Amino acid sequence: MNENIMKLTEENYEKEVLQTPAPIVIDFYADWCNPCKMMAPAFDEAAAEYGDRVRFAKINVDESKKLAIKSKVLSIPTLLFFKGGEQVDRVTGPLDAVQLKGRLDALLV
Cβ atoms of residues 19 and 76 within 8 Å: no
Range of the domain at 60: 5-107
CA separation for the pair 96, 109 (Å, rounded): 21
- Show pLDDT as tens, one digit a residue, over the chain (109 residues): 578 899 999 999 999 998 888 999 999 999 999 999 999 999 999 999 998 999 999 999 999 999 999 999 999 999 999 999 999 999 999 999 999 999 999 999 9
Rounded alpha-carbon distances, angstroms, from residue 43 to 36, 57, 101: 10, 10, 9
Q: What is the pTM of this model?
A: 0.93
Total number of domains constituting the chain: 1
- Name the DSSP class of 93: S
Query: Could you tell me the CATH number of the domain that includes residue 9?
Result: 3.40.30.10
Q: Where are the beta strands (DSSP E) in the chain?
A: 5-7, 24-29, 55-60, 78-83, 86-92
Catalytic residues: 33, 36
